[in-house]
Structure 1
Amino acid sequence: MTKMVNLLATKLELGSPMICMYLLQNPDHYTSHHFIPLYWSTFVTEARKYWNPNDISEDNRVLLIKRKNTFIGLSSTFDYTHRPSDHSNYNLYDWISTFTRVKRYTKKNKDEHDSSHINDFNSTSFVSDQFCFLDGHPLAKTHRVQKYRKPELNVPNFIGPPFPRPDKDDREYYCCSMLVLYKPWRSGADLKQPDESWHDAFISYQFSASAAMFIKNMNLRYECLDSRDDFRSQLK
């Protein structure tokens, strides 16, 4: 092992501690939190599709996977909309932070899981229990839902276009986006009534204290930009 480290360090100009980390299958960096990608606009598209099925402007990308010589379309929204019935009260933000999709335990991969390295993130970051997806999920037979051991250390990383502003952009789209993130749902029908606007549904829904704080903080960036513009205008 020492010879390998010395040889690689000389040839590749890499630090010995980093090489040791890779050879011993240890992580090469340490952070207090784990960031989980969340393509938020895909979920908004899925929710709005219930009310506007013929709106071709909405873009919902689907991943094609092959199962037994058959191609199956897999959307990133399936994990949440087909989450276990016991998870019905979780909103999207909390569920993404708390649970993830993993391969179903079999005797073979469970033995591999139990014997994996103690510092491997995938082997130590989850509790042992696994939960079944609802029927209709393309991977319901091969995958399960598993809970992170320390969900409080997970932070959803919003990926996609900038969030709409509550005061200047499309108000309906903004209200829909906030409901999608912070109100439990499985389809768009769970987010508002047929004769109700997204704005009215947003105003009437009682968000949790944490969700209300997140919604408020999501507008801080725009408030800072407005303050910057106001300051610049005063200098002219």
Structure 2
Amino acid sequence: MYLLGNPDHYTNHSFISLPWRRFVHQVEIDTTCNKIHTLYETEDDLIQIKKVNGNYVGLSPVINYTRRPKEFEDLCVYDWICLHRSQRIVKTNYDNDNDNNGNLSDVDEHLETLRKAEQTCPVEIPINCSRPLHTHPLYPTHVYHCVHDKSDIVANFIGGTLPRYDKGDQEYYACCMLTLFKPWRTGNDLENIEDTWNSAFTASLFSDQQLELMRNIQMKHECRDAWDDFSLQQSK
């Protein structure tokens, strides 16, 4: 079935990839952490180079989140990944599927070009859609909206195993949980200069659903511990 291009499994949930290390890495850079963890890049979390209107721009889930529309200011990373959808809103005379000069254009020049195109071709924003910040590479051509129900949408954490709260680097655990479950545009929104990640995490309030997600993350570690203990007993 899979080789024929047909679905190879069926489920009543939709799974969306969440490359969590990329977001945490950005927060660590923003806050000039003393220890910035190594980012292990995979096919799923590399920056995507996309050709838009004859120009190349770099896109990533982090850019989409940190430059999301102001209307979605209060969304955390987890909710944003699950809920947001994008769509194209304008087709201009500047569109060109063939890159004549073969050079990568500067993002600022690219945005200016698209803004000029927008002036000659008025844009009608669809209902319930919002434009990202002006600094977003796709600002002139795309809008975002959020679905209302995420009960059947699950974020699939990719990029390695999330840390646990009872072992290892507690500062890193606190940083990861704040990154995933509190709204931010830069890492400085999550931690004051005088604070530690632990103190910022302890002072934060989380929804019942977010607390349940944290418990599920921890439960996965505990299940692995139980499996390792069982395997050890079987080997004796």
Tell me, in whole angstroms, the C-alpha distance in 2 between the residues paired with 1:128 and 1:58: 42
Q: Percent identity?
A: 36
Task: Quote the residue 1:87 is aligned against.
Answer: 72
State the match for 1:135 in structure 2. Answer: 134
- Using the TM superposition, name which of 62-71 and 153-162 deviates more: 62-71
Unaligned runs of 5+ in 2: 93-125
Q: State the aligned residue count.
A: 195
Structure with the higher helix share, 1 or 2 = 1
* Residues 90-169 of structure 1 mapped to structure 2, 5 A cutoff: 90-104=75-89, 129-148=128-147, 150-169=149-168
Matched AA of 2:79: D
Query: Does 1:215 pair with 2:214?
Result: yes
1:34 lines up with 2:34 in the alignment: no
Find the aligned partners of 1:48 and 1:57 in 2 and give their Cα distance. Answer: 8
RMSD of equivalent CA atoms: 3.1
Do the aligned partners of 1:93 and 1:181 also contact (CA within 8 Å) in 2?
Answer: yes
Q: Partner amino acid for 1:216?
A: R
What corresponds to 2:179 in structure 1? 180
TM-fit CA distance, 1:67: 3.7
Question: What amino acid is the match of 1:96?
Answer: I
Question: Are the counterparts in 1 of residues 71 and 130 from structure 2 also a CA contact under 8 Å?
Answer: no
CA contact (8 A) 2:29 2:36 kept: no
Question: Partner amino acid for 2:175?
Answer: C
Structure 1's unaligned 5+ residue stretches are 1-13, 108-126
Deviations 1:59-83 (A, max 9, x none): 3743222345543222221111111
Name which of structure 1's ranges 64-73 and 155-164 shifts more when overlaid on structure 2: 64-73
CA distance in 1, matches of 2:51, 2:91: 20
Q: Secondary structure at the match of 2:50?
A: strand
Bigger relative contact order, structure 1 or 2 (CA pairs below 8 A, ≥6 apart): 2
SS of structure 2 residue aligned to 1:139: coil
Q: Tell me, what secondary structure is at the counterpart of 1:145?
A: strand
Q: Which amino acid aligns with 1:34?
A: S
Tell me the CA shift for residue 128 of structure 1: 5.5
CA-CA distance at 1:142 after TM superposition: 1.2
When the two structures are superposed, what TM-score results if normalisation uses the length of structure 2?
0.71
- Cα separation, 2, equivalents of 1:70 and 1:105: 16
Question: 2:56 is aligned with what amino acid?
Answer: F
1:101 alignment partner, SS class:
strand
- TM-score normalised to structure 1 length: 0.71
Shift of 1:158: 1.0
